Amino acid sequence: MAFNDFRFRVAFRVVLVGITMAVFIYMITRPNMIFAAGLISFIIIGQLIELYRFTSQTNRKLTRFLESVRYSDFISGFAHDNKLGKSFRELNTAFNEVLEAFRKARTEKEEHWQYLNTIVQQVRTGIISFDPEGEVQLINPIARKFIGINNIKNINELTARNPKLFEALMEVESGKSVLYKGGADVLLTLQATELRIRGGNVKLVTLQNIQTELQKQELEAWQNLTRVLRHEIMNSITPISSLTSTLREILDYDLTKKETHYELKQEGAEDLREGLATIEGRSKGLIKFIDAYREYTSVPQPKLKTILLKDLIEKVTQLLKPEIKKTNIRFESICESEYLTIQADAEMIEQVLINLVKNAMEAVENNSNSCITLKGLYADNAVLIEVIDNGPGIIPEAIERVFVPFFTTKKTGSGIGLALSRQIMQMHNGTLTVQSEPDVKTTFTLRF
């Protein structure tokens, strides 16, 4: 077994080379053995070449290992020279373990790729990615359906088939979205992000058809609006119709025809006067309701300017101060920074804030320790304005409906204020939301 050891075999070759060189030196000192010495020299050269070849096995092994890694050849193994000793067995074991780790990593990578690719192919959102030259790197079936080309290789092919969609895909910026109207049943929202893969930039765009969801939301909004309209109109029309019938009966039974004129009994006249007054009141209420509807549907476009938030809050406070002084309400206005600004139409936002504060005043009017806070701040990467009160709050069942046009929880009011306020905030690309804890705190938040 010792003869198979790598070190023994190297030592044996070195000793053999030494003996051969000694013989060579002995021969060259003998004139009659010069020719034999020449032959021995070739043997020495051969032995040195063999020694070099044998000792360079580790280099060849390392080279083969690195080539296996380079070309992802993880099938090959290292074990045929284990007999050369413990050091070779340990080296072969280490190489095999590394190759096995690479093999497992590649298998897991392929499994993950297949998993993610299956997800990409199955999702109901279109996904397409392409490089700066327009070469398509990835596309799923939904994206092909939206684009209208089954085998698209380059995004520039869209210029002839669908130039508007091509323009939308090229114009959408990373982190932003654009809308694309593709037909009666297609309204796509395009969102983009940019990635850097293998030293090159890739643009990834998602395409989602929101037409169905919009139609669903639109239908729900119209149903809510129609329900409220029907309720309000019926509240006015029903008594008017009933009173009209009653007044006709009064005229039929209490009106007496004389030769030259008609006479009406005093009781009938009073009933007639009361009925007409009621009809007049309900008619005015219906006209007021129609005016509120017209106000909601004819909001002008905002004229955006840069406004200091501190100045806006101070102006609203000054406008409300005379009305607040008539009450026992403790009113606070706070702006956390003098440098916060928003892009807004000052008059429209003032209208929203005044409406919210007046609602809060009505909510807390029966509280012994009434408090309203108007607060401006910066949080969650946005400028916020909060209107906070400690009134009775809004019950969970009504909190999602308070922004529905003409819905109101108050005995008086058109139910248009909050709906109009939210519409104004949407026109400013902002939001108006509410959070309420009954009998503790209610907060309306304007987010810019």
Q: What is the pLDDT of residues 283-312, one digit of tens each?
A: 776 776 666 666 655 667 888 899 999 999
The arithmetic mean of pLDDT across residues 396-422, rounded, is 70
CA-based torsion, 420, 425, 427, 431: positive or negative: negative
| 255 within domain boundaries | yes
Looking at the structure, tell me whether residues 312 and 346 fall in a common domain: yes
pLDDT at 72: 66
Q: How confident is the model at residue 374 (pLDDT cuts 50, 70, 90)?
A: very high
Indicate which CATH number applies to the domain containing 182: 3.30.450.20
pLDDT at 1: 45
pLDDT at 447: 92
197-244 pLDDT tens trace: 777 888 888 888 877 777 677 667 677 667 766 766 776 677 777 777
| 109 within domain boundaries | no
| 365 within domain boundaries | yes
| 14 within domain boundaries | yes
Looking at the structure, tell me whether residues 74 and 194 fall in a common domain: no
Of 102, 134, 152, the one marking the end of a domain is: 102
Across 38-42, 222-226, 315-319, which has the greatest mean pLDDT?
A: 315-319
pLDDT at 308: 92
Looking at the structure, tell me whether residues 84 and 193 fall in a common domain: no
Of 297, 332, 350, the one marking the end of a domain is: 297
- pTM exceeding the 0.85 threshold for the entire prediction: no
**Residues of the domain holding 378:** 305-447
| 137 within domain boundaries | yes
Q: How confident is the model at residue 57 (pLDDT cuts 50, 70, 90)?
A: low
2-33 pLDDT tens trace: 444 555 566 666 777 777 777 777 777 777 77
Looking at the structure, tell me whether residues 193 and 255 fall in a common domain: no
| 112 within domain boundaries | no
pLDDT at 191: 86
The arithmetic mean of pLDDT across residues 101-119, rounded, is 78
Structurally, how many domains does the chain consist of? 4
Looking at the structure, tell me whether residues 79 and 155 fall in a common domain: no
Looking at the structure, tell me whether residues 142 and 244 fall in a common domain: no
Looking at the structure, tell me whether residues 371 and 258 fall in a common domain: no
Looking at the structure, tell me whether residues 348 and 401 fall in a common domain: yes
Across 44-58, 80-94, 328-342, 390-404, which has the greatest mean pLDDT?
A: 328-342
| 115 within domain boundaries | no
| 292 within domain boundaries | yes
Of 68, 102, 136, the one marking the end of a domain is: 102
